[in-house]
Amino acid sequence: MKPKSTYSGPVTELGVKLLKKHVLGKLSGRGKKRLVGFEEEYGHVYQLLEQTVVSGEGNSILIIGPRGVGKSTLVDTAIQTLQETHKGELLVVRLNGFLQTDDKLAIHEIWRQLGVEMALEDQGGQPKTSNFADTLTSILALLSHPDELSGGMEEEEDERGSRKTSLSVVFVLDEFDLFVTHPRQTLLYNLFDIAQARKAPIAVLGLTSRVDVVEGLEKRVKSRFSHRSVHLRLPNSIEQFWAVVRSGLEVDEDELGEIEGVCAEERGYWEKWNEKLEGLWEESKGFRMLVRRGYALTKDVKGFWANWCLFPISHLGTAAVAQSSTYTSLAGPENRLHILPALTELELSLLIAAARLDIISDTDTCNFNMAYDEYKSLAAKVKVQNSIGSTIAGGGVPGGGQGGKLWSREVAVGAWEGLGRWEVLVPVTVGGVQGGVGREGRMWRVDVGLGEIGRWAGQSGGVLGGVLGRWCREI
Amino acid sequence: MSTAIQENQGTDYDPQEHLGCYIFTPPNASSEAQRPPKRRRTSTSKGVKQKGKATAVTTTDNSLYEDDPEGELLFPQLFGGKESPAVAKRRWESYNELWEEQEKRTNEILASMNEKMLEEVSEFVKKAMPESYDGKVPTAVILVGPNIASHGLLFNQLATRIQVNERIGPAVVLSSKDATNLKGVLKKLIKDATQEDQGLDDEEDTVVTKKTQGAKLLNYDLQILQNWCQEPAHKGLKVTVAIQDTEAFDSNILSDLVSLMSAYLNRIPFTLLLGVATSIEIFHEKVPKSIIRLMRGEKFDVERAEECLARIFNDATIGAKSVLRLGPSLSDFLLRRQKNHTQSIQAFVAALKYAYMSHFYANPLSIFLAFVDDLDGLDEALKPEYLEAVRNLPSFRRRVESLLEEKNTKPVRLLLDDDAHLHDVIKASISLCRNYTKCLAQALEVLEIARSFMVNQNNKLPRHELYPKALLGELNGSPVIRELLLAMKKMNSTKLVALIDRVIATITDETDGSLQKALVPLRERIAALIKDSQKKNLNSEFDLSVSDTLRATVVSKRVQLSEKKSALTKEEEEYSKCVKAVHDIIEQYFSENMKGLEGLLLHEVFFYDLLSPHRDVFAPRSRYAIERALSRPQDYLGCACCSDLSEYGNNNPSDNPIMPTMPAASILYKLYLESGTLINTFDLWSAFYSIVGDGEGGDAGEGGVDRATGQVLFYRGLAELRALGFVRASKKKTDHLAKLAWKGL
Amino acid sequence: MEALITSIDSKYPCRTLQLRQLSALLDPDLPSPSSIILYGLEATGKSLLTKALLDASETTYSWVACHECITARHLTERIASQVKDAVREKEDGQLEKDVLGMRAENINALVVVLGKILGTRGRGGNGDGDDVEVEKKHVLVLDRIDRQREATPISLAGLARLGEIIPRLTTIFILSVPSPRLLSTSSIPHIHFPPYTKDELIHILSLTPLRLNIPRSRPPSRPPSPDSLAANDQADLVEDLFVYTRFLGTIWESLAKSTSRNILQFKSIADKMWDEFVEPIRSGEYGTRNFSQLYVRQRDMFRVERHILDEVVPSNTTTTTTTTSFSGATAATTTSSAAAAIIPQDMMAKATHDLPHYSKLLLLASYLASYNPSRLDVQFFTKASDKRKRRRGGGATGAGGGRKNQVRKIQRRLLGPQPFLLERMLAIFHAIVPDPVASSVDLQTQIATLTSLRLLVRASASGDPLEAGGKWRVNVGWEYIRGLARSVKFEVEGFLAEV
C-alpha cells in the first residue's frame, strides 16, 4: 500500500507526516472520529438532547451496541454539535462504570465535574461532607429547576451568579450495565427520578453493550426510566464494513486543509491516498481478503484498525521502506491454544495426560497425582516402543526428548505448577477451600480439550508431534 | 482434680478442691497437726495416697510464695510439727541451693548447645551477598527439630546476635501468628526493621510521610524500608528476615513474601532465615518450585534434642557433682516420656526441678543432703524422730531382714535399739551412697567407651538409657555386658591397647585405683609383645573361628580350630593370655560396680524415685479420669446408696449395674455406651426415664422421680455429656444425637 | 530512529520484530494507541526491551512494577507517585502543591490525579488540542500487571481507560498470558514475545560464553574482559565457543527442551553443568575438538535430573559435605582411634531430627486413616486376623474396582488424603502401637504439635479444635510415610488397601 507507486507528483515530508499523524490519530482513537452511518439513530439522540437543552425536558435513553461499534462516537458528535449550537447552555458529566465502581464515588465524581464545569469555588471541588444524602441534596439543589426554586429570579441570581436560565446537564453513563450492578442502584434511581419528575433539565445517556440491561433495573428504577433505547448494529454488509474502515483510513481534507504550510503537493498526495484506498479495495486481492476476514471474524472495525493498519501506516515514508513484516498482525490471541507451542515437552505430556483423564475416568477435575500416574503409564509404553537406543549424532541425545524419557515426580511437579501459572489449568475450589490437600492432591480443571491439543500436535509434526498426537488419539 | 478428691476422701473433705480458684488461707497449726500422719506415710509409702500429695504440694507450695516472700518456713514442719522450724527452713534452703547449682549447670549446657549453630548462621548472614548466590535471595535453612517450645528462644537468640552483637543490621523474626495476611506481615516486617531509630507513626491512618519529597507511602509499602536502607546512617546494613516456624506459615503468604523480597533484592539487601522443624524435603513440597527458584543458600543444623537430653541427664543424675539423683523407675519414666512423647528439654528440666522440690518438701530425711559435706554437722540434726524415720525406711528393713537371714542378730539389735550405733551407720552409709553413685557413673562411662570399640555399632544404647537398668542391678551380667566382653576377647592387639588406654584415661579419679593398677601392667606386656613380634596385629586364639564360616559341620570346625591354634605364634599365645586377663579384670570390675541400689542403706535419701507424682502432674490422664468418673461415680462420691457396688469389677462399667440413684450424667453415659453411633433422643429419654422414673416408667422401683423432674435431670445430664464432648446434635437425622467420643481412647 | 533500533537490537538479539512494532507504536511524533499489551511467557525480554526502548527515546515514561504492589490502592498510589516523579524530573513540569498532596485511593481518584498532572481532554470537543499535546506524550508501563494481587477485571478495564481519558497517556500492559477479553475492549494492539527457539537461545548465551581457560585458572563464570583478549586468548575463545555451543545444544536436546525452556533456567543448568562437563578437557585428557567422545564419556550427566531440580540448598554441596564426613569417619575408624570410632554414629544420627516415637506412630495412624476406607478398618486392625489375609482382602478391594467397569476407577491413593475422625485415628493408633500405651495428655499435645507442623491438618474448618467431631487429614506423602514406617519398624504396606 504505497501510494508513491501511482502518484506522479513529489511526496513531501510534511505531507506524509501530517497524513500519518492524522490517520493514526483516527485509528488509535486519539484524533477526531467521524460517525459513519447511523444517521437515524444519531438524529434520535440529537433531538432528545436538544429537547433537554432547549425546552428543559428531562430525558433518559439507553444506547445499546457491541463494543467498538461507535456508541461513544455518536454521543460525542451529538454533544459536540449541541455545544457549538447552544454555547454554554449544557454541561456534560461523563461517568464510566469501570472507574466509578460504586455510587459514592460516582456522586463525588459528578460533584467534581460539575464543580469544574461551573467553577463553584465557594462550594469547593469536593463536597466537605462524605455523607451520601447530603451530597445528593446539594447536587439536587444545584440541578433543581428554576420554576421549582423557592423565591424568584433575584435570589437565584444571587446564588447562581449572572446566568439567566438554568443549565441543563447531560449525564453520559458509559458501561451502564456496571452501574446497574451497584447495590440498590441509588444513583440510577436518583438520576432517573430527576429526569422523569422534571426536577431539573437533565438527560441521562446510558451506553452499554448488553441488550438485556433493562431487565437488571429494579422495579422502582425501571418505572422511572423512559424506556427509550437506540440500538447500534454492526455493519451487515461487507461494503458497509469497508465504508467504516475506510473512513478511518482516508484523509479528511477539510481538517488538514487549514494547517499552514500545506500546499498543492500535499493536497494532491492526500487525494491520491484516498483514491489509492479505493483502488486497494477494488484491486488488491490480499487487502480485500484482509478486510473480508475482519468482516467475517468480528466485524470489529476498531479491532481491524488496531491490528492491521497501525503498524503499516506508521511505517509510511517518502521512500518506500522495504518491510517484509508489514502484514504481521497486532491481534491478540483468540484462545488458550497459542500457549501450546511455548510449553516444554514435559508440560505438554502432563497436559495431555490430564486431558485424557477427563475422558478415561469421566471426571472434569484432576490433580497432579492422577495426571502423573497417567503420564507414567503413557511414557512407559513409549519407552518400550523405542527402547532400541537411538544414536548420538552431533549432541543428539538417546531416549530422552521423544516423550520416552520418564521424568521424575519432582521435575513433573514443577512443570505442573507452570501449567497452573499459565492458566491452562484452572484451580477448582470446592466450597471455597482448595488448600489442605497439598499441592499434589489439589484439584484442577484442564482448560484445553484433548482434541485441540491433538490437532495442534498433528500440525507441529516431528517425532514429538507424532508421539503426543498418538497420545491424544489413542484412548 | 480427680486425684485431689481421691486424696481427700476418707480424710477431711475440702470443698475448696472443687473450686476453680479460691483465696488461700495459710495452713494454721491445727490443720498441720492433723495432716502429718499422712505426711509421714508419704515419705515411705508409694501409690494412691502419694498421688494426692503431689497436687497438694503444688497448690500449697506456690501459693505459699505469695504469702511470705522472704520465705521462712515455706515448707511445713514434718513429724507432726515436731520438726523444728529451723530444720524445716534448712530443708527449704538446701533445696534451693542444690537446685540452683543444678540449674546453673543445666543452663550452661543449654546455652553451649546452640552456640555453634548461632556462630555459623551469623557468619553466613554476615557474608551473604545475592551475587554469590547468582542473584537469588540468600537463604539459610535452619533445621531446628520438632521441639517447637524451644524455637522462639532460639530465634530470639539469633536475632539479638545478628542485630546487637554482630551489628549486621535489623533482624526481624516472623512467626505464623503474624501471617494472617501479607499486609500484616509486611507491616510487622517494616515496623520492626525500621523502628531501630526511626519510629514511624502507624495509627489509624495508614499513611506515613517519607523523608524525601512530599509523596506519601502506605505503611505496608516496602519502599519505606528501601528508603530507610538508603539513608546514609544505614548504609551497608543487611535486613535479615527470620521465619520461625516455616511449616506453620501459610504457604501462599510465604511465597508472596519471598517473591517480594527477591523483587526488592536489588534495592534492599535481604537475607532470609527459615526455621524448618521437619525436613528440607517437606519444606520443598510446601513451597512452589517457582518460588524455591528464588532462594539459594546453605543449611544449618541445631544440636539434636537427644544429644541435648543426654548431656543434661548425664550431668544431672550420673554426673559427679549432683547430690540428689533420680531413682530407676522415675528416670526410666522420664526418659521414655522424652523418647516417646515429647522431645522437649524444657519439660525434662521442669520434671527435674519438680523432683527436687517434692523430695525436699515431703521427706524429712532429705535434711541429710544438707550435711553430706560435713557429716559432723549432722549430729545435732539427728533427733530421735529422724532415727525412727530411718528405721521405717524400706532399705533399712531390707538390711535388717538380710542380717536376720544370716542369723546374726547382734547388729540387728544394735541397729534397732542403739541410737548412737545407728548414728554411725547412717554416717557411714551416707558416704557409701555417694561413693556408690561415683563408681556406678564411672562404670557406665567405661562401659560406653568399651562398647564404642565393638565391631557392630548398631543397637547401641547411650549411657543414660542404661542408667536405670544399672540402678536396678539388671545390667550386671546382662547381654549388653556379656556381648561386650565377648567382643573384647576377639579384639586384636592394636584395638585392645587403644581401648585400655582410653579406659585408663577416663578412670583417673577412681576412688581406689584398683582397675588402673590392674590394667597398666597388662598394657605394658601387650605393648612389649607387639614390639617383639613382627606382625603389627596380634590375634588372640578366641578370634580364630570367625575367620571363615564356610565349613558346615561342627567336627570340621573343631578340627580347623585346633590346627589354627597350633598355628599360633608364641607371642600370640602370650597375647591370648593377656586378653583373658584383661577380660577377667573388666568383668570383675563391672560386677563390682554395677550393683543395684537395693542393698544400699538410705538410698531413699539420695535417689528420688516416686513415680506417681510426676505421672499425675506431667502426664495426667484426663480422659480416662472422666470416663471412670462417669462409669463409676461411687468411687468419687462415696455415697451410701452406691457403696454396695464398690466390690463390683473395677474398671469395666458393663458389670456394674445402673442405679437410679446415680447422677443423671453417668446414667446417660452408660446408656450412651450401649447405643449405636446415632442415638434417637426419645429412645434415650424413655430408657432414662425407665430407670429413674417412678412406676409407669417401667421396672424402676419406688422412690423414683416424676416425669417433670426426670426431664430436668435428663436435659441436665445430656447437657453435661454435651459439654464433655460426648454427643452432638446430628445433622443426618432430626432429633438424633451423634456419638462423638469412642470409649477407651 | 533506525540507528536506535539497530543499537538496541544488537544489545537484545532475536527480538527484531517486536522491537520494530513497539517502536512504531511509540513513535514520539505520531499519535500512539491509548494502551498496548505486551505478552509472552517469563524471560522473553518483554520488560528489558521496553525499558531499553523507552530509555533511548525521548518520551517521558513512568515504570510501575505491579507485582510489588500488594493492594489495589497500593497500585494506584504507586502509579500516581511514579508519574509525578517522572513528570517532575524529566519534563521539569511544575506541579502545584495541591497535585502533590492529592492521593489516589482508587482508580477514580487516580484518573483525577493523572488528569491534573498530564492534562485531561477538554470536555465535549475531543481531540481539538491533541496535536499540540501529542508532542510530549507520556508512557505508563504496568509491568507484570497479571501478578497484581487484587487486580479485578473491572480495575484492569479501568486502567485500560486511562489512556482514552488522558490523551497524552499511553499505557503499556506487560503480562504473561492474555485472556482474550482481558481489558474488555477490542482495539488494543498486542505484541507477542514468543519463547526463544533453540538456536536463538544458543546464540544469545554464546555471546557471553563460559570459558575453558585451559592454561590460566580464571573463574569460568566471568565473561572475557576485552583488555585481556590477546591473540592467543582470541584463539581460546574460538575453541571455547566451539565446545560451548555444542555443549548447549546437547543440554537442550537432553534436558532443557523437555523441562525448562526459558533462558534463565537454561543458563542456570548450563552453568551448573559446565565445569563438571569440561573437566576432562581441563585436565587435558581430551582435546577441544572431539566433542562427541567427550559427550559419550560424560553422557550420564545428561541423564540425571540433579541439574534441573531447583533446591534452596544445592544438593551437590550437601552431598559433598556428607560424603566427606563419612569418608573422614571411615578413615578415622581404620585408624582405630576410639574418638573417631564414635563419629559415624552421630554423623548418621545428625542427618535427621526425628519426631518422638509416638508422634511417628500417630502420623502413621492418620495416614492409614486418610487412605483407607473406614469400612475396611475391622478387616485391618482387628488384632486377631493375620497379615496375609489382610493384604488379600485389601488388595481385592483395591484392584477389583478397576477391572469391572470400562470407565477406569480412580485409585483412592491418587485422590489425596481423605478426611477422618480424630477418634478413628486414635483407635487405629492404639491398634498399631506395639505395646499398650496409656492415653495421657501427651498424645493430645503431640497431635497439636503435628498440626502446627502441618503434618496433620484440620479438614473441617468448623469452630473449636477440641470438638471430638472434627475432621482431620494427613498432609505428608507416601515416600515420607514409608521412611517413617521403616524407622519404627512398622510394616505399613500390610495395612493399606492400595499400595
Q: Using one digit for the tens of pLDDT, what is the confidence trace for C396-434?
A: 343 333 344 456 677 777 878 888 888 889 889 988 888
Distance of alpha carbon B448 from alpha carbon B430, whole angstroms: 27
The number of C-beta contacts closer than 8 angstroms across A and C is: 242
Q: Which residue of C has its CA nearest to A398?
A: C254
What's the pLDDT at A154? Answer: 39
Neighbours of chain A (3+ CB pairs under 8 A): B, C
Mean pLDDT on B397-421? 85
Q: B13 to chain C, minimum CA–CA distance in Å?
A: 27
As assigned by CATH, the class of the B622-739 domain is mainly alpha
Nearest CA in chain C to A438: C475
Chain B residues near residue C74 by CB distance under 8 angstroms: 218, 220-221
Q: Do A438 and B290 touch (CB under 8 A)?
A: no
**C309, closest residue in chain A (CA to CA):** A411
The rounded distance, in Å, linking the Cα atoms of A28 and A24 is 6
Chains that touch C (3 or more CB pairs under 8 A): A, B
Using CA atoms, how far residue A385 sits from A376, A461, A468, B675, B688, in Å, is 14, 19, 14, 61, 73
Q: Which helix (H) or strand (E) holds B134?
A: none
* Model pLDDT, residue B464: 81
* Contacting residues of B for C477, CB less than 8 Å apart: 285
Q: For residue C70, which residues of chain B lie inside 8 Å, CB to CB?
A: 182-183, 186, 220-221
A264-303 pLDDT tens trace: 777 888 888 888 888 888 888 888 888 888 888 888 888 8
Q: What is the pTM of this model?
A: 0.82
B222 interaction partners in chain C (CB closer than 8 Å) = 68
Distance (Å) from the alpha carbon of B145 to chain C's nearest alpha carbon? 5
Cα C18 to Cα B424: distance, rounded to the nearest angstrom? 103
Residues in A closer than 8 angstroms to C112, CB to CB, are: 112
- In chain A, which residues fall in CATH 1.10.10.10? 338-473
Preferred mutation among A13, A14, A89, A99 to probe C, highest tally of C CBs within 10 A: A99
Taking a C-beta distance cutoff of 8 angstroms, is the pair B92, B68 a contact? Answer: no
* CATH number 3.40.50.300 is the correct assignment for the domain at B115-302: yes
Cβ C443–B725 below 8 Å, yes or no?
no
Chain A residue set in contact with B, beta carbons under 8 Å: 413-414, 417-418, 421, 435, 438-440
pLDDT for residue B647:
53
Closest partner residue to C311 (CB to CB) among B214, B292, B728 is B292
Pick A39-231's CATH classification: 3.40.50.10860, 3.40.50.300, 3.40.190.10, 3.40.30.10.
3.40.50.300
How many Å apart are CA B586 and CA B449, to the nearest integer?
12
**What's the whole-number average pLDDT of chain B?**
77
The ranges assigned to domains in chain B are 115-302, 622-739
Cell digits for B491? Answer: 579384639
Residues of C in contact with B183 (CB under 8 A): 70-71
Interchain pair A413, B290: CB under 8 A: no
Higher pLDDT, B598 or C225: B598
Gap between the Cα atoms of B526 and B529, Å rounded: 5
Model confidence pLDDT, tens digit, residues C70-115? 888 899 989 998 888 888 876 665 666 667 677 788 888 898 888 8
Q: Which CATH fold would you assign to the domain C1-119+136-192?
A: Rossmann fold (3.40.50)
Instruction: Give contacts of B725 with chain C, Cβ < 8 Å.
Output: 466-468
For residue A114 the three cell numbers come to 460539575
According to DSSP, residue B172 is labeled: E
In the DSSP assignment, the letter for residue B273 is E
10 Å Cβ neighbour count for A338? 16
Nearest to C410 among A330, A370, A392 (CB): A370
Interface test with A, best of B256, B287, B289, B292 (most A CBs within 10 A): B289
* Contact assignment for A417 to B289 by CB distance below 8 Å: yes
- Say how far residue B33 (Cα) sits from the centre of its chain: 36
Beta-carbon count within 10 A of B35 CB: 17
Residue A15 DSSP label: H
Closest chain A residue to B251, measured at CA: A435
Confidence tier at B588 by pLDDT (50, 70, 90) = confident
Q: How far is CA C315 from CA B130, B299, C311, in A?
A: 19, 10, 7
**Contact across the interface for B285 and C477, Cβ inside 8 Å:** yes
Rounded Cα distance between B61 and B658, Å, is 41
pLDDT at A135: 67
Instruction: Report the CATH fold assignment for C357-381+409-494.
Output: Arc Repressor Mutant, subunit A (1.10.10)
Interface chains of chain B (3 or more CB pairs under 8 Å): A, C
Neighboring chain A residues of C186 at a CB cutoff of 8 Å:
67-68, 298, 300, 302-303, 306
- Beta strands (DSSP E) in A65-135 are 90-96
Cross-sheet strand order for the sheet of A365-367: A365-367, A443-446, A425-427
A341: pLDDT strictly greater than 60: yes
- Cβ A438–C167 below 8 Å, yes or no? no
Give the pLDDT score at B495: 81
Whole-number percent of chain B with pLDDT over 70:
77
Residue C322, pLDDT above cutoff 60: no
Residue C308 and residue C271: Cα distance in Å, rounded? 11
Every domain of chain C and the residues it spans? 1-119+136-192, 198-215+234-303, 357-381+409-494
> What are the chain A neighbours of B251 within 8 Å (beta carbons)?
435
Q: Which of B251, B252, B289 sits opposite A414 (nearest CB)?
A: B289
Average pLDDT rounded to a whole number, residues A133-156: 54
Distances (CA, A) of C323 to A47, B300, B302, B709, C316: 89, 16, 20, 77, 10
Inter-chain touch C295–A96, beta carbons under 8 Å: no
pLDDT tens digits, one per residue of C158-175: 898 888 888 889 999 999
Please tell me the distance from the alpha carbon of residue B240 to that of residue C488, in angstroms, as a whole number: 38
Name the residue of chain C whose CA is nearest to B207's CA.
C103
Task: Give the closest of A101, A178, A441 to C415, CB-based.
Answer: A441
Q: Which of C310, C336, C440 lies closest to B289 in CB terms?
A: C310
The pLDDT of A85-92, averaged and rounded, is 84
User: Measured between beta carbons, which residues in chain C are less than 8 angstroms from residue B305?
Assistant: 353
User: pLDDT of B11-68, one tens digit each?
Assistant: 455 555 555 555 656 555 444 444 433 333 333 333 333 333 433 333 344 434 444 4
> Worst-scoring range by mean pLDDT, A358-362, B62-66, C249-253?
B62-66
Please indicate whether, in this complex, the C-beta atoms of B278 and C455 are within 8 angstroms of each other: yes
* pLDDT confidence tier of residue B544, bands split at 50, 70 and 90: low
A99 touches chain C (CB under 8 A): yes
Does B3 have pLDDT greater than 60?
Answer: no
Dihedral angle, C-alpha A154, A158, A160, A166, nearest 10 °: 0
Q: Does A414 sit within 8 Å of B285, measured CB to CB?
A: no
Instruction: Test C127 with A411 for CB contact under 8 angstroms.
Output: no
Interface of B with A (CB under 8 A): 251-252, 285, 288-290
Is C89 part of the contact surface with chain B (CB cutoff 8 Å)? no
Option in C338, C350, C469 nearest B452 (CB) = C338
Residue B200, pLDDT > 50, answer no
Nearest to B290 among A421, A438, A440 (CB): A421
Assess contact for B369 and B93: CB atoms under 8 A: no
Q: What is the DSSP letter of A364?
A: S
Average pLDDT rounded to a whole number, residues B214-232 = 81
Handedness of CA C143, C147, C149, C150 (dihedral sign): positive
Task: Indicate the residue of C21, C194, C246 with minimum beta-carbon distance to A311.
Answer: C21
With CB atoms and an 8 Å threshold, state whether B620 touches C426: no
Contact criterion met (CB < 8 Å) for A178 and C34: no
So what CATH class is A338-473? mainly alpha
Q: Tell me the pLDDT tens digit for each residue of A421-446.
A: 888 888 887 655 554 466 777 888 88
Query: Is B218 in contact with C74 (Cβ distance < 8 A)?
Result: yes
Listed residue (A216, A155, A162) closest to A185, CA to CA? A216
Cβ neighbours, 10 Å, residue B398 = 15
